[in-house]
């Protein structure tokens, strides 16, 4: 049995889960998310818990079992608490402005870099910090990764965009000639 898949998903007060043939709708105080139903899995809602079961013990079915439970749990957490990722900008002359759906950054290029977030994702700026927040875990992570890829941190001075909890391994500079 899948260690992840066999755990029931706790449904907090104010969250409703509607199970259909091809998709599961999770609605809560922050919004509504649609989770696709994985093949050979079945979701049942009983009281304040949702359980995921699978048809057989094939390797693919076991993988889908854990995936279905994880996607459902992420949707429940998203509509109740939401998700957020923090990014930091380090570098002399680097600037950050904007917020909401669009930000503008000066990252050492000859032009300012503009980034527009997709629907459902909010960007907030505070000095040299960007906070990406939303109810869909996948979208929040994707937007944070796209912003980071605009100027990845370099290993010598640490200049660039990094996750707030990321540790940049520094390299030694030139040692000099002997």
Tens of pLDDT, residues 106-155: 999 999 999 999 999 999 999 999 999 999 999 999 999 999 999 999 99
Q: 3-class secondary structure for 1-13?
A: CCCCCCCCEECCC
CATH number for the domain running over 83-163: 3.90.930.12
Q: 3-class SS at 56? A: coil
Average pLDDT over residues 89-104: 93
Q: What is the pLDDT of residue 178?
A: 61
Q: What is the pLDDT of residue 174?
A: 83
Q: Which band of pLDDT confidence, cut at 50, 70 and 90, is reported for residue 81?
A: very high
DSSP three-state, residue 95: strand
Please state the rounded mean pLDDT for residues 97-104.
92
Residues linked to residue 51 through DSSP beta bridges, in sequence order? 44
Which residues does residue 15 pair with via DSSP β-bridges, in sequence order? Answer: none
Which residues, listed in sequence order, are joined to residue 44 by a DSSP beta bridge? 51
Domain 9-80 indexed as CATH 3.10.310.10: no
Q: CB under 8 Å to 172, separation ≥6 — which residues?
A: none
For 113, the token pair is 């870099």
Q: How far is CA 102 from the centre of its chain?
A: 18
Same fold, 9-80 and 83-163: yes
Name every residue whose Cβ is closer than 8 Å to that of residue 177 and which is 6 or more positions away in sequence. Answer: none
> Residue 86: enclosing H or E segment and its boundaries?
strand 83-90
Q: Residue ranges of the domains in the chain? A: 9-80, 83-163
Element (H, E) at 74: helix 59-80
* Mean pLDDT computed over 91-103: 93
Q: How much is the pLDDT for 70?
A: 96
pLDDT at residue 23 above 80?
yes
Q: Tokens 């900008």, residue?
A: 89
Mean pLDDT of the chain: 94
Average pLDDT over residues 92-105: 93
For residue 67, pLDDT over 80 is answered with yes
DSSP H helices, the chain, are 59-80, 137-149
Taking the C-alpha atoms of residue 102 and residue 112, their distance in angstroms, rounded to an integer, is 13
Q: Is the pLDDT at 2 greater than 70, yes or no?
A: no
């Amino acid at each position: 049995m899948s260690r992840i898949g066999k755990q029931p998903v706790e449904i907090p007060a104010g969250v409703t889960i509607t199970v259909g043939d091809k998709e599961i709708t999770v609605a809560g105080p922050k919004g509504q998310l649609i989770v696709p139903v994985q093949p050979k899995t079945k979701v049942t809602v009983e009281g304040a818990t949702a359980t995921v079961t699978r048809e057989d013990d094939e390797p693919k079915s076991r993988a889908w079992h854990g995936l279905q439970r994880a996607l459902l749990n992420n949707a429940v957490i998203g509509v109740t608490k939401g998700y957020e990722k923090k990014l930091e900008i380090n570098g002399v002359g680097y600037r950050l402005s904007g917020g909401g759906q669009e930000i503008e950054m000066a990252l050492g290029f000859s032009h300012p870099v503009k980034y527009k977030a997709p629907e459902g994702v909010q960007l907030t700026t505070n000095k040299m910090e960007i906070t990406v927040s939303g109810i869909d875990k996948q979208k929040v992570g994707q937007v944070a990764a796209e912003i980071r890829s605009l100027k990845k941190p370099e290993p010598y001075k640490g200049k660039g965009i990094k996750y707030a909890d990321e540790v940049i391994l520094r390299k030694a500079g030139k040692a000099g000639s002997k």
